Amino acid sequence: MMLILFAVLAVVVIFFIYSLYASVVRNKNAVLEALSGIDVQLRKRYDLIPNLLTIAKKFMDHENALFGKITELRSKAINAKLGSKEKFATEAELDTQLKAFMVNVENYPTLKSDATMVQAMQTYNEVEEHISASRRFYNSALTQLRNSIQIFPGSLFASCAGEAANLSYFETDAASRQPVSAKDYL
């Protein structure tokens, strides 16, 4: 009888340890999945930016500095390491420049009413919403992973999380928190 009780207790302990390990691995994979989701949405944005700029260039020849800055930031963001603070900072700056670009578009009635530009702007707005949702999902998954490896007994399996535990949260910069003022770009 004692042997059966010991065997049952051993199975329960092994199952408990395994479930903790599996939980940390699931949380790590959720973070990596969320990060990949952000990357997919950002790739959509990167593909859309040249089309927006090309359409607008026909109408806004004197805005070349803004076009150049957005193109430069797009290239920098594409090449930045996914999940790094540099990537998030570049994305925040790109967001700011794209908002400035959209404000400038509003100053060109012909461009603003052009069907191609209207469709491109609607697509851009949808992509931005998807990026925002992906970032929220990523931050939530990262919080869940960090909680699972910082609270005992999950902390015993922290090494299973690997580099995913050291990824940065997506945080907006101070400039992105402020409303965009159209008068700054007119």
Half-sphere exposure of 65 (CA within 13 A, CB side): 4
Q: Is residue 95 part of a domain?
A: yes
Instruction: Report whether pLDDT(7) > 90.
Output: yes
pTM for the structure as a whole: 0.68
**Parent domain of 55:** 38-145+170-184
pLDDT digits (tens, 9 = 90+) for 82-140: 877 888 888 888 988 888 888 777 777 776 667 777 788 888 889 889 988 998 999 99
Which amino acid, 125?
N
When divided into structural domains, the chain yields a total of 1
Q: 50 preceded by cis ω (within 30°)?
A: no
Query: Measured between alpha carbons, how far is residue 14 from residues 7, 11, 17, 160, 179 in Å?
Result: 10, 5, 5, 17, 54
Q: Is residue 97 part of a domain?
A: yes
Lowest mean pLDDT among 61-75, 103-117, 166-180: 166-180
Half-sphere exposure of 30 (CA within 13 A, CB side): 18
48 Cβ contact list (under 8 Å, min separation 6):
120, 123, 124, 127
Instruction: Report whether pLDDT(62) > 80.
Output: no
Which pLDDT band, with edges at 50, 70 and 90, does 15 fall under? very high
Q: Is residue 151 part of a domain?
A: no
CATH of the domain at 72: 1.20.1440.20
DSSP 21: H
| Secondary structure of 89-132 in HEC code, one letter for each residue | HHHHHHHHHHHHHHHHHHCCHHHHHCHHHHHHHHHHHHHHHHHH
Minimal CA–CA distance to 122: which of 114, 70, 177, 172?
Answer: 114
Instruction: Report whether pLDDT(40) > 70.
Output: yes
